[in-house]
Chains A and B, each alone.
Chain A
């Protein structure tokens, strides 16, 4: 008996529908990918990356100007920025591409997600086709971080870093872990970039002033 058949058997016994089974199968795959990514990173970075990837999607969905940041071909461009581990970036890209569940898999706000990876903090290749959001796969040096912040702010794009301390350095969004995992926003960068988040997000997020 394979793992899949075993899962099917369990779910059959539980009496769930085949759609539900498909959803959970996807979830298991994503989970496996994330675990693989996590094993490549340090233990804490793995956890933060897992959490951050979903919050990144929440942030993008809360951007009230998201519709204007869609590529001409209708895709939602996302850039994963790495420092030196391309394979890791690709694994994250794969995870992001299949993120979302059921009918929303690979979609965000019904826009198909297109993920590219780069290790250029200047994001020189993206001057023309500006992505809707930038996700840091690896922590960057301060100089590189400044450059990517400058890029995102200037283009009113969401820059998300799952790494602790980056929001304080000027990255627009990240998260903070307390009793709950909360979105974390840099007030200054938010105002400077002019990005408009939904008011509910601002209510639930922790703001760094």
Chain B
């Protein structure tokens, strides 16, 4: 309402401006007339009268010229009459109305003085004439004869004045009319502008409303479609847990694929809507490029194999593996391009190549190329290819399906990543899509922190067994499906039909549940408000609440977190993600954890030992399926995909490569292979130190005992026969993975110090050797800190061995806490000696770390009454750093060096840090030490 008022004020101001302008024009015209034009006209008329009078005076002077004879009166009168007859052609009136003579009779020869002082016409005009007194000079003698008084008519002046004034008034009126018209036009223009502005605002508001309505429609549509898909996929998941025939298993898989395809379409539409609305934002997290490419292979590889196509994914060796960006969206682009390539290629090859195209500082430009040998695209169709809802050829839609959104979304995503998706293609020879994107470089250590810590899927279920979950969901089918999935995993599930019911149940018994799964759109009370009410109750402030929604369009995640929820899941539920989140947030009852672990102490030890391990990827177990038959791979994938990360290989070469690169936790190996049989492959795996510990289960249609025996002799741990029973497969896989886990655990235990829980000497030696080799390969430094607890024997003697053990545990903990890098290793080297290995740390960094360790032990102020260094427990520290050369094969040189420093520290009074001034050296003779503290 303020805008129209403001606009009206503007119109009034415009009107006022025009009024002022009109008045100004009138005032200027009046002033111009009265002050300038009229006086000038008068002056001109007066001058004109004078000039006329002068010209006529010549005639009088001629007749009055002194002569021998007296001037005759009637001659003078005749001249005067003649002058009075002269007429102005403009007015048709005489110029002069009167004429009088006043003569000097001493000069003029007259019969008597005064006889020639004649008067003619009207000589008594007041203001209606101009009077001009003109001297009359004798033409011959130049004498002054007298004065002629002319009275000139002002009629011409009056007429001219009137004409000009009238013209001025007319012009003024015209200007005013013009101003009036302009004013009217401006007002009309203003009103039209106002109308247009209002109309545009109204249109914008309507467009915004329409956009919101569209968004809401899409959100509702997404919700309404995802809800039944959730039920379908959930039921399929449950059905596939049953002991069904392979044929039915395949049909179920196809149904699941169909549901998944529908979900992909919905996601495409939602992505497109988000991009169009400018609401799609990219993540910037560290990720492994190689893993992202392998995900592409795992998703679309089946289809390539089905069509008999070779799918080659090549990551250039010089390309950085660890980058920061949005791995999900990059995967979406690559999946679209590779998926299309497979779709439109009947024979030949599909290649995905990645190489580094440039680097600037910590940013790297990567070039992705997807090339196929498919049908190709004509240049005309290429122009239409990136248009929304367009495929190159309408017949393609009928033949190959698809919404036409995929490439558009990919192109927009590439643009958002700072690149441009381009295409080169010839019909019949294939297509080549390529783009570059910019990523920040990341470190491997960044990636470690991103990995989800936790046990594998199988163990998750075990850990979660018995946990109490409140499932708040208004759709009974989803209640049923989700409840069943959770129940099958051993969780106890209660349901509530809406938010209010959940609030009532939880308020009545706040400790009854370990976690809440909360739907968002519900009758009576929605998920947001229910969560807010729950969070308002201090007893429920820490209760984990995970949102479940079928609305994936709006910024639900932020809204959920704002409402007080801990995390967010979209429907259809991804069972793996569901259990990841349950494990992450579940308030586990003590019994649930305890039952899984051998003992509290061992569990703590293991946990601590794991925390000290330099690289412990906590990803779900990976199962590598090696089979030349795609149907078999599909079946095994459908059985295992929900619980494990499944890789596959269709030949021995790929299998060996994947085994070495991905280091799967278990291998399912077909006996009959085209290029190399399973037995030979198994032997190769066992011969390679990197793969020899991976359990191998043979899968074959053969059922002869000999085959089983051969397989087991070659190093397999088990044997499965086709047709496969899903339950049996899952149980066998689970059992062997658990066995492997316990075996690994025991192996781990053998490398853990039983007292302090940190690594023992065995692990230290192994780690030192591996890091020594790594340092040689990479040319990086390796540092070692050797620590000895000062006067520990006296401590034991004074306080007893139990206190001594506690002292060592405390110091181990201090050391572990003070070295937060996951690559650093703190080990108990023996007795009261500790060793800290710091990969990629130079001497100055190692000295700083040593000083920190020294200070933090002192700061703990562990009482020690029999110490020469003071009232508290102290440590002596020796620091050594090396850049190992390739000719140095013995890592012991580093230990020896650090040990010498430690010895020197102890010899020079203990409670100090001793290091080397030179950072890089390979010769240890002639060393010089110095004390850096105390």
Contact = CB atoms under 8 A, between A and B. Distances in A.
A179 B140 contact: no
A11 to B, nearest CB: 17
B144 A198 contact: yes
Interface string B123-159: 0000000000111010111111011000000000000
Interface in B40-87: 46-47, 50-51, 54
Nearest to B104: A200
Given A180-B134, A200-B102, A61 B107 contact: yes
Contacts of A62: 143-144
A103 B104 CA distance: 20
A204 interface: yes
Contacts of B106: 198
Contacts of B135: 182, 200, 204
Interface residues of A, number: 24
A109 interface: yes
B485 to A, nearest CB: 121
B143 A102 contact: no
A39 interface: no
B144 A180 contact: no
B205 to A, nearest CB: 78
A182 B147 CA distance: 12
Nearest to B107: A61
A58 B140 contact: no
Contacts of A182: 135
A200 B140 contact: no
B140 A100 contact: yes
Contact of B144 (A23, A103, A204): A204
A100 B139 CA distance: 8
B40 to A, nearest CB: 14
Nearest to A108: B141
Contacts of B146: 200
A110 to B, nearest CB: 9
Nearest to B140: A101
Contacts of A100: 140-142
Contacts of B46: 179
B143 A109 contact: yes
A150 interface: no
B244 to A, nearest CB: 129
A58 B137 contact: yes
Interface string A65-86: 0000000000000000000000
B141 A201 contact: no
B144 A200 contact: yes
B649 to A, nearest CB: 118
A58 B143 contact: yes
B137 to A, nearest CB: 6
- Chain B interface extent, by class: 20 to 34
Contacts of B140: 23, 100-104
B143 A200 contact: no
B142 A180 contact: no
A179 B51 contact: yes
A99 B142 contact: yes
B144 A57 contact: no
Interface string A182-209: 1000000000000000101101100000
B639 to A, nearest CB: 125
A131 to B, nearest CB: 18
Contacts of B50: 179-180
Contacts of A179: 46-47, 50-51
A106 to B, nearest CB: 11
B678 to A, nearest CB: 129
A169 interface: no
Contacts of A198: 104, 106, 144
A61 B54 contact: no
A180 B141 contact: no
A182 B137 CA distance: 11
Contacts of B142: 54-55, 57-58, 61, 99-100
Contacts of A200: 102, 104, 135, 144, 146-147
Interface in B264-300: none
A149 interface: no
Contact of B147 (A55, A102, A108, A204): A204
B141 to A, nearest CB: 4
A134 interface: no
A139 B144 CA distance: 26
Interface string B576-603: 0000000000000000000000000000
A172 interface: no
A61 B147 contact: no
A55 B139 CA distance: 12
B49 to A, nearest CB: 9
A132 interface: no
A117 interface: no
A195 to B, nearest CB: 15
A101 B139 contact: yes
A22 to B, nearest CB: 12
A177 to B, nearest CB: 13
B278 to A, nearest CB: 84
A58 B102 CA distance: 17
A91 to B, nearest CB: 19
A204 B143 contact: no
Candidate in B137, B139, B143, B146 with the most chain A CB atoms within 10 angstroms: B143
Nearest to B54: A180
Candidate in B47, B102, B135, B139 with the most chain A CB atoms within 10 angstroms: B135
B62 to A, nearest CB: 12
Contacts of A203: 133, 147
A61 B144 contact: yes
Interface string B87-106: 00000000000000010101
Contacts of A58: 137, 142-144
Interface string B694-733: 0000000000000000000000000000000000000000
Nearest to A201: B144
Candidate in B46, B47, B141, B147 with the most chain A CB atoms within 10 angstroms: B141
A201 B146 CA distance: 8
A176 interface: no
A57 B143 CA distance: 7
A107 interface: yes
A203 B144 CA distance: 11
Contacts of B104: 198, 200
A100 B140 CA distance: 5
A57 B137 CA distance: 10
Contacts of A101: 139-141
Nearest to A100: B141
A101 B137 CA distance: 13
A109 B47 CA distance: 33
B651 to A, nearest CB: 119
A194 to B, nearest CB: 20
B809 to A, nearest CB: 125
Nearest to B143: A61
A24 to B, nearest CB: 11
A58 B139 CA distance: 11
A57 B141 contact: yes
A179 B143 CA distance: 20
A83 B104 CA distance: 37
Contacts of B143: 57-58, 61-62, 109
B107 to A, nearest CB: 7
List the 6 closest pairs (A to B, CB-CB), nearest first. A101-B140, A61-B143, A204-B135, A57-B142, A104-B141, A179-B50
Given A100-B140, A101-B141, A179-B46, 19 more contacts: A54-B137, A55-B142, A57-B143, A61-B141, A61-B143, A61-B144, A100-B141, A101-B140, A102-B140, A104-B140, A104-B141, A107-B141, A109-B143, A179-B47, A179-B50, A180-B50, A200-B102, A204-B135, A204-B144
17 contacts: A54-B137, A55-B142, A58-B137, A58-B144, A61-B141, A61-B142, A99-B142, A100-B140, A101-B139, A101-B140, A101-B141, A102-B140, A104-B141, A109-B141, A179-B47, A182-B135, A200-B104
Interface of B: 46-47, 50-51, 54, 102, 104, 106-107, 133-135, 137, 139-144, 146-147
